[in-house]
Amino acid sequence: MSTPAEQTGRARAALLDRDGTINRDTGYVGDPAAVELLPGVARALGALARAGYRLIVVTNQSGIARGLFPPAAVEAVHERIAALLRAEDPDARIDAWLYCPHHPEGRIARWAVRCRCRKPAPGLFERAAERHRLDLARSVAFGDAERDVEAARRAGVGTTVRLAPDGTPSAADHRARDLPAAVRWWLARERSVERSRPERDAP
């Protein structure tokens, strides 16, 4: 199945932080059995997918460099999150998982480097755009930390949303208390942009 975006070129994406955005952030999440989705996230992701967005996770996983868990544990956590999402909303399918395993002060030499992908660096977003032919300017990023916002902005993502309590200072374009509220805001805004267009594209 192809969407109009695919026919004309680059796709729009929702670029999502993982811990604290999709699942509860209990600190260095490396055990799939301990994964817990945040409330309403599956339906929010399903709504984005139904609106034509690719769902792409971009996550710092320095637990790998720190020697807390291997890459296979991160991948097992991703499989678990995918299964939990699917169980709640069959449309909530993550199209790609990109993670940074590095940390400059890590214990494992191979990953103890200053990389270009650890947020707030923009590398994961740039890799996602290349691999999945994304139109970043027409995409949206959601994250619960300011480094998520900074990384997305540096990569050229058109809209950034920070998940944070009211009053938290942020360079993001919008702030919302959680992902479901953020997605409601974004999709409502998209609908109002659609309505305000003087001419609609022919089908």
Q: Which does 17 bind (CB under 5 to 8 A by kind): Zn ion, Mg ion, none?
A: Mg ion
* Catalytic annotation present for 19: yes
Q: Is 63 among the residues that bind Mg ion (CB under 5 A)?
A: no
* Catalytic annotation present for 95: no
**Selected binder of Mg ion within 14, 127, 144, 180 (CB under 5 A):** 144
Q: Which of residues 101-140 bind Zn ion (CB under 5 A)?
A: 102, 115, 117-118
Q: Give me the DSSP letters along 140-176.
A: EEEESSHHHHHHHHHHT-SEEEEE--TT----SSEEE
Structure tokens of 116?
Answer: 């270009």
3-class state of residue 55 by DSSP: strand
Structure tokens of 189?
Answer: 């805004």
Provide the edge-to-edge strand list for the sheet that holds 96-100. Answer: 96-100, 54-60, 13-16, 140-143, 159-163, 174-176
The amino acid at residue 70 is: P
User: What string marks each residue from 18 to 37 as x (binds Mg ion by CB under 5 A) or -?
Assistant: -xx-----------------
**Of the ranges 60-68, 77-85, 142-150, 161-169, which one interacts with Mg ion (CB under 5 A)?**
142-150
Per CB under 5 A, residues contacting Zn ion are 100, 102, 115, 117-118
Per CB under 5 A, residues contacting Mg ion are 17, 19-20, 144-145
